[in-house]
Structure 1
């Protein structure tokens, strides 16, 4: 079990915009278990790894979304014609 300064359960719920009950459902444990992890600050390594993967997935999906926006802007810029004024 790991004890972290910043509570990983609270951080995960906050960053994903979910409740502890919803996190428990994602992990496959009872919500009381997640509440205990929160209050005691101790999370089993496998649950810690799972929460870290959830956070990395969110970061990755945000990266993909930003990349798609940049590609759209790039396509729009490519289509812009600058008139010859000379």
Structure 2
């Protein structure tokens, strides 16, 4: 049993609705709703896909932060 519903976690972290998640993944909204209802019995492929979506989002956020830091460094070098 997982402590937190992975579908709700993904939607919360990404700031999206279940409908938006269904569109991102290319599945019908009822599939996502079933995942929410049966989060403890998700197929392994679904679990891994949702884990990858979260990991991708987190990595993109880190890259954005690094880009901002590099831009600040460039600014400091110029000024």
Instruction: Report which of the two has the higher share of strand.
Output: 1
TM-score range, shorter chain: 0.7 to 0.9
With structure 1 as the length reference, what TM-score do the two structures score? 0.78
Deviates more, 1:32-41 or 1:9-18: 32-41
After superposition, give the CA deviation of every residue in 1:2-33 in whole Å (9 maximum; x if it has no partner): x4220000000111122112212322332112
Q: How many residues align?
A: 78
Instruction: Report which of the two has the higher share of helix.
Output: 2
**Who wins on radius of gyration, i.e. which is larger?**
1
Unaligned regions of 5+ residues in structure 1, if any?
A: 81-86
With structure 2 as the length reference, what TM-score do the two structures score? 0.83
Q: Compute the RMSD of aligned alpha carbons.
A: 1.5
